[in-house]
Amino acid sequence: MNRLVLPLLAACACLIGGQAVAQAQWPTRPVRIVVTFPPGGSSDIAARVLAEHYSGAMNQRFVIDNRPGAGGTLAALHVSQQPPDGYTLMLSNSAPITTSPPLYPQAGYDPLRSFTHVTYIGAAPIVVVVNSRSIPATDLPSLIAWIRAQPNPPSFGSSGAGSVGHIVGEMFQRQSGLTLVHVPYRGSAPLLPDLLNGQVPLAFDTLPQYVEHFSSNRLRGIAVSSAARSPMAPAVPTTGEGGFPQLVADNWVGISGPAGLPPAVVARLNTATLAGLQTVGVRSRLDEHSITGQALGPVEFTAFVTRDVAEIGGAIRALGITAQ
């Protein structure tokens, strides 16, 4: 063999070996978890719960990086462009992976090929919620009657164009034959004050952040878009109970990273996530925010995303829903 080739082979072997060791020891420096919405929403809450668990379990800092905008597509594009070394992760959810890509065709990433989907964590239902002083309705039939009685189409808020709340609001209009005016916000946190003061009378958004206002009657939950009532708000009926059995959707959350994450990083991250979800501390805090469901590993999570993109994304395209 050529004498020049031997040193090159040895150097390559050392490099590959060094990379393997680094992957096995991951993480050796702080890790970012990019959140696609502002602080205060269900995705942000889940990310912070997991970041605290990871920091303790892996003896390294996991920090939250909130990057809201364009239905989560700005954050997702950013993550897809980062080195696949495990030091930039994303709290993935329905918006940037499933519902926003059909609305933002120039988003710049593919929801499957651009990411490594590591662990599915759970999902939170969408609630149809009204300002109690603005709308007297107590269920979907009376809400529909109220909307039809208005001289102009009322507005509804969501946590952003492309969010699951936005899509549920659009589906509700099509299934009821009503017209509403969509007001997109940059997350649940800025939407909540406007709903409380009546600037927007109605919203479709993830349930957790609204529950505390039900008891004071400032807000009223009309329906949750899940197959069964949420333990977090058992008095709120489902959309099926209100006469809309096809209006079922939720906002799932998971851990993803750029495409090509090393198998050793995926394995350690998945193991740490599943272990955390089995602890009382992590599980109870997620349950408090109605993020429930069966955890899934990389293979099952990727298959789930594939189905969700095909079914929900396909439905959005078929309905002609836009980001406007």
The H-or-E segment that residue 255 falls in is strand 250-258
pLDDT of residue 187: 87
Q: Is the pLDDT score of 8 beyond 70?
A: no
Q: Is the pLDDT score of 12 beyond 70?
A: no
pLDDT of residue 268: 97
* pLDDT band with cut points at 50, 70 and 90 for residue 319: confident
User: Buried (b) or exposed (e) across 14-31, using 16+ Cβ within 10 A?
Assistant: eeeeeeeebbeebbeeeb
Phi, psi of 250 (to 5 degrees): -145, 170
* pLDDT band with cut points at 50, 70 and 90 for residue 209: confident
The domains located in the chain, with CATH, are: 29-123+251-319 (3.40.190.150), 125-224 (3.40.190.10)
| Segment 279-283 mean pLDDT | 94
pTM of structure: 0.84
- Whether residue 181 contacts residue 59, with contact meaning beta carbons closer than 8 Å, is answered with no
Write out pLDDT tens, residues 294-314. Answer: 899 999 999 999 999 999 888
pLDDT of residue 17: 47
pLDDT of residue 314: 87
The H-or-E segment that residue 93 falls in is strand 88-93
| Segment 14-23 mean pLDDT | 50
Following DSSP, what letter does each residue of 141-182 receive, concatenated?
Answer: HHHHHHHHHSSSPPEEEESSTTSHHHHHHHHHHHHHT---EE
The winner for highest mean pLDDT among 2-6, 81-85, 245-249 is 81-85
* pLDDT band with cut points at 50, 70 and 90 for residue 199: very high
Q: Could you give the percent of the chain with pLDDT greater than 90?
A: 75
* pLDDT band with cut points at 50, 70 and 90 for residue 2: low
Q: Is the pLDDT score of 82 beyond 60?
A: yes
Q: Is the pLDDT score of 18 beyond 50?
A: no
Average per-residue pLDDT for the chain: 91
Q: Is the pLDDT score of 15 beyond 50?
A: no
* pLDDT band with cut points at 50, 70 and 90 for residue 289: confident
**Contacts for 132-136: CB closer than 8 Å, 24+ residues apart:** 132/217, 132/218, 132/219, 132/220, 133/198, 133/218, 134/198, 134/201, 134/202, 135/201, 135/202, 135/220
What whole-number distance in Å separates Cα of residue 50 and Cα of residue 56? 10
